[in-house]
Structure 1
Amino acid sequence: MNDLSQLKQGVYAPGNSVDVAEALVAGSGIRIDVDRRRGRGAALNISGRFEQKSREVFDDGWQTLEELPPFKTEVQIEKPKTAITRNESPDISFDRSINPYRGCEHGCIYCFARPTHAYMGLSAGLDFEAKLFAKPDAPRLLERELAKPDYKLRPIAIGTNTDPYQPIEKEWRIMRQILEVLKEANHPVMIVTKSAMVTRDIDLLAPMAEKGLARVGISVTTLDRKLARSMEPRASTPTKRLEALRAISEAGIPAGVLVAPIIPALNDHEIERVLDSAKSAGASDASYVLLRLPLEVSPLFRDWLLRNYPDRYRHVMSLIRSMRCGKDYDAEFGKRMKGSGPYAWQIGRRFELAAKRLGLNLTRRQLRSDLFVPPLGMGVQLSLL
């Protein structure tokens, strides 16, 4: 058995083209059997970083692993105190967002939100995409927050952490209820998703867009269906996303494409093709984000890369580190989205030139903030006049 076939089968031995330390992903855990994680992005279920004890699944020789059930999606109800989450990050364009769900069934291996599951005592690996939390009270809480006399209006971003249109939204419909509250209050909203389910809510978004209150961005990482299936196993296919982009645009809703993440030596050669396809589908603006590997995301991504592209592993990681000051990730504001160094500069210039050639980003209408009507009721004292 040669080195490449060994790597593809998960066999790592001294002498392989990938160092043993890297192959074991820095001791991050034992891979979950493929039959138990079928249709999932991660192969590891590393204990959360705040846990006092670390647990691993291993074969004790008594075939006990064969008795373990497959990972199935479980949804628990979370009862937050507020619906709106605020941030003060200087390198993003919004200061507030809403997350209808915690965790994401799409299972994107690169998702920078994975480490947030550690706050629930769960793993950023398979737990993040299988043990989900829904917030059915979010629409009611949002209505109450918007009704407060001291509420200061700014556009709300949705989909910046986990996808509001992940598969469980079909049943829970929390995102739709949130949009209904925002529509009634004439509140501006920005949505980012990689799900074609967003077209379900065109009946809400189109009237809002007509008033200048809504904008939708569709994330298109790759046009390669095989790569997308492996990297984003339960997200809409690239074709479906482009179809959704077209439907959104034709409905009169300002539509953009987010090429994210760009991964060197894996999908960066597709930048121009993705932008070209998005423009043809009706996109009016475009942006990109370089791959981010904070905390637990790094070992999960490296394990995925070893399983799926072992022959590119060294090259991909070398380029990533060349754009992150020699590390897997650099969280410095201003650098974390775009990276630094010659290769990052090249990606940025390619993106800018392609967008300019296609006529993207020429104009971007600001969402209106002068139509807002605070919700009535919800415990707010009404006027006596």
Structure 2
Amino acid sequence: MTSTSPLRGRGSTIRPGGRFLVHRRDAFDDGWPDDDAPAPLRTELFVDNARRVINYNSSPDIPFDRSINPYRGCEHGCVYCFARPSHAYLDLSPGLDFETKLFWKPDAPDLLRKELAAPGYRCAPIALGMNTDAWQPVERHTGLTRQLLEVLLEARHPVSLITKSALIERDLDLLAELARHDLVEVMVSVTTLDDALARRLEPRAARPARRLETIRRLHEAGVPVGVLFAPLIPALNDHEMEAVVEAAHALGARTAGYVVLRLPLELKDVFEDWLHAHVPDRARHVMSRVADLRGGRANDPRFGSRMRGEGVVAELYRQRMNRLHARLGLGRSRRNLDTTAFRPPRQKGPQLALF
């Protein structure tokens, strides 16, 4: 694990090796002064030659059984991202590599078209961008997520979305048309209303106020929108639950949810190092509170408790959100999107359709 000083515009402060590597690197003090500022890291984009684009799961504690992730890695650099350990499968670091070495799937729209047109396909809502943000900064250049939405609209296929990017507003035309057919819902992730904290936690994501403005614009365009207070980090942002949900509701959010911080695998070291770099006075307290929610550990992967935690404090979080639902008239669950209008998309090629 190589330790560095915090880099401007990057979330992780370290580049730990992935768990499948046969070697390990550790930082040490060689006695020489290090007066040079660390060089900025540039984002690199690589092609991911995927064979399929729809991923299926049977997890009992998430409300969808299929998803599409146009990208691996995420330039937003959110230090708490549960997807960071997935970069280890590429023999890359879940730390700085996750937010600087990105992979995209240029064939994803054609693959989606092919999979939706397969004779045995049965329509159910697809969750788009659940692992990494489908509207992260590189989307401005690739337009990949917009192409996927175009295929879903053509097929009248329901889709649920989550983002913390204002770039989703670029696609309001498609989202509004999907909404007109009851085929879409959007959750906007708002972690904090504190700009200073957000800048360190989520360095390349939209500012909190900008995300609230995105909620307003989605709502005014007729797109069903909610707010996700995630992750809830004990002793860091947990006191903001009410303020975040109330602010989002005032601008059009009609559903609300939360997820407690998860620290699987290498993410524990990434997050703990960030705490010592940015909030050293609270680092031990935050990790202690995390352990209280996770049965004495940094992470609990069990279905049913991994999203909410367990114990007295976890129950208080649940009650606080329940009171917000009751007081503001917020929905608790996802909408039942229409699956009856689905029509397999036409395949691209020289042959014309018969009918």
Global fold match (TM > 0.5): yes
Deviations 1:81-131 (A, max 9, x none): 001011110111000000000000000010000000000000000000000
Check if 1:350 corresponds to 2:325. no
Q: 1:84 to 1:363 in 2, by over 3 A?
A: closer
Mark the CA change 1:363 to 1:326 in structure 2 (over 3 Å): closer, same or farther.
closer
Aligned counterpart in structure 2 of residue 77 of structure 1, from 47, 63, 68? 47
SS of match in other structure, 2:162: strand
Say if 2:85 is the partner of 1:115.
Answer: yes
Residue of structure 2 equivalent to 1:269 = 239
Q: CA deviation at 1:206?
A: 0.2
Q: Does 1:173 align with 2:149?
A: no
Q: Secondary structure at the match of 1:133?
A: strand
Matched, 1:281 2:251: yes
Contact kept in structure 2, 1:376 and 1:382, CA below 8 Å: no
Counterpart Cα distance in 2 of 1:150 and 1:382: 22
Name which of 109, 132, 148 aligns with 1:139. 109
Shift of 1:366: 1.0
CA contact (8 A) 1:144 1:378 kept: no
In the alignment, what sits opposite 1:231? 201
Q: Which amino acid aligns with 1:169?
A: E
In the alignment, which residue of structure 1 is the partner of 2:309? 339
Unaligned runs of 5+ residues in structure 2 are none
Closer, same or farther in 2 for the Cα pair 1:62/1:365, shift >3 Å? closer
Letter in 2 for 1:236: A
Q: 2:130 corresponds to which residue?
A: 160
- How far does residue 58 in structure 1 lie from its aligned partner after superposition? 5.6
Give the counterpart of 2:180 among 203, 210, 227.
210
Q: Which residue of 2 aligns with 1:15?
A: none
Q: Cα distance, 1:30 vs. partner?
A: 3.5
Larger Rg: 1
Residue 359 of structure 1 and its aligned partner are, at CA, apart by 1.0
Confirm or deny: 8 A CA contact 1:147 1:380 kept in the other structure: no
Q: 1:47 aligned to 2:17?
A: yes
1:254 aligns with 2:219: no
SS state at 2:161 partner: strand
Asked if structure 2 preserves the Cα contact closer than 8 Å seen for 1:100 and 1:138, the reply is yes
Q: What fraction of aligned residue pairs are identical, expressed as a percent?
A: 53
The 3 A distance-change label for structure 1 pair 350 and 135 is: same
Paired residues of 1:188 and 1:214 also in contact (CA < 8 A): yes
- Preserved CA contact (<8 Å) 1:261 1:289: yes
Greater mean deviation of Cα atoms: 320-329 or 63-72: 63-72
TM-score for the superposition, normalised by structure 1: 0.88
Which residue among 134, 147, 153 is the counterpart of 1:183?
153
Per-residue displacement from partner, 1:190-241 (whole Å, max 9, x unpaired)? Answer: 0000001111100001011010001111000000010000000000000000
In structure 1, runs of 5+ residues without a counterpart are 1-28
Match of 1:4 in 2: none
Deviations 1:294-352 (A, max 9, x none): 00111111111111111112221111111100000100000000000000000110111
CA 1:261–1:68 in 2, change beyond 3 Å: closer, same or farther? closer
User: After the TM superposition, which of the residue ranges 234-243 and 348-357 deviates more from structure 2?
Assistant: 348-357
**Equivalent in the alignment of 2:343:** 373
Q: Does the aligned pair in 2 maintain the 1:146–1:374 contact within 8 Å?
A: yes
Residue identity matched to 1:89: S
Distance 1:223 1:64, change over 3 A: closer
Instruction: Tell whether the 8 Å contact from 1:59 to 1:65 is kept in structure 2 after alignment.
Output: no
Count of residue correspondences: 355
Indicate the residue corresponding to 1:104 in structure 2. Answer: 74
Letter in 2 for 1:338: R
Aligned to 1:93: 63
Q: Considering only aligned residues, what root-mean-square deviation do their CA atoms show, in Å? A: 2.1
Counterpart Cα distance in 2 of 1:167 and 1:383 = 37
Q: In the aligned structure 1, how far is the partner of 2:259 from the partner of 2:179?
A: 25
Partner residue in 2 for 1:3: none
Compute the displacement of 1:174 (Å).
0.4
Q: Is the Cα–Cα contact under 8 Å of residues 144 and 379 in structure 1 kept in the other structure?
A: no
SS of 2:289's equivalent in the other structure is: helix
Aligned to 2:171: 201
User: 3-state DSSP class of the match of 1:311?
Assistant: coil
CA distance in 1, matches of 2:332, 2:24: 51
Aligned partner of 1:10 in structure 2 is none
Deviation readout 1:130-185 (Å, 9 max, x if unpaired): 00001111111000100111111110001210000000000011000000000011
Which secondary structure state, in structure 2, belongs to the residue aligned with residue 208 of structure 1? helix
